[in-house]
Structures are given as structure tokens and as C-alpha cells.
Amino acid sequence: QVQLVQSGVEVKKPGASVKVSCKASGYSFSSYGISWLRQAPGQGLEWIGWISVYNGDTKYAQKFQGRVSITTETHSNTGYMELRSLTSDDTAVYYCARERVYSIHEFEFWGQGTLVTVSS
């Protein structure tokens, strides 16, 4: 069965960077894209960006452009999201999610979420 398993809780200081991983199993990793999303406390869902595992193409929300990098490692079936220059506004649960069909951006499978807390 399809599974996305994310790395654990992170606590960071303002100005630092965080890199969250998402290990996929149960399907052909290169055949689907992966998006990263987040939910801040008391807020709704927010899309951060997407990567085509097949060819490495990426798309980012303008809000995160220049501060985020989404990558994959095909030999380990793992995706990564790095967010730099963290502020308290980046405190959130971060999710990776696999699209339902390649390049059709609805999210059928999700990781369990990774809590990132930014605090001095």
C-alpha cells in the first residue's frame, strides 16, 4: 500500500533552516509528483510547492519563492523540503502529499505530518 513517512518533530530558532524528509513506499516513486503543504496553528491548509519526481521540475507558491527548495532522491524514494530564514510564522505542521495521477494536482496520499516549531 502507498505510504509516505515523514521525519520527526523539529524545533528551530529564528533565522535557521529546516529540512523535512518524506520517504515513499508502495508505488513507483518516479511516476508521481509530490507536493508540500502546511497548516499553521488555527489556520487552514497552505500549498508550498510541487516537484515532478520524473524530471525534477518544480513549482513554488510565490510566498515561499527564494526561501524553499523541494528535491527528491530517487535511489532512496525520498522527497525533501528545505525552508530557510525561518520566523515564528513558519511554525506549522508540514505535510508531503502524493498526487492522485501524475501531474493532476489533487492529493490522494499524505504523510503523517511534521511539526516544525520556530522559537527563540
Partner 1 sequence: EIVLTQSPATLSLSPGERATLSCRASQSVSRYLAWYQHKPGQAPRLLMYNASDRATGIPARFSGSGSGTDFTLTISSLEPEDFAVYYCQHRSNWPLTFGGGTKVEIK
Contact set with partner 1 (CB under 8 A) = 35, 44-47, 50, 59, 61-62, 95, 97, 100, 104-108, 110-113
Backbone phi, psi, residue 98, to 5°: -95, 140
Residue 27's SS3 state is: coil
Least distance in angstroms from the C-beta of 50 to partner 1? 8
Least distance in angstroms from the C-beta of 14 to partner 1? 25
Least distance in angstroms from the C-beta of 29 to partner 1? 19
- What is the sign of the dihedral through the CA atoms of 27, 58, 23 and 99? negative
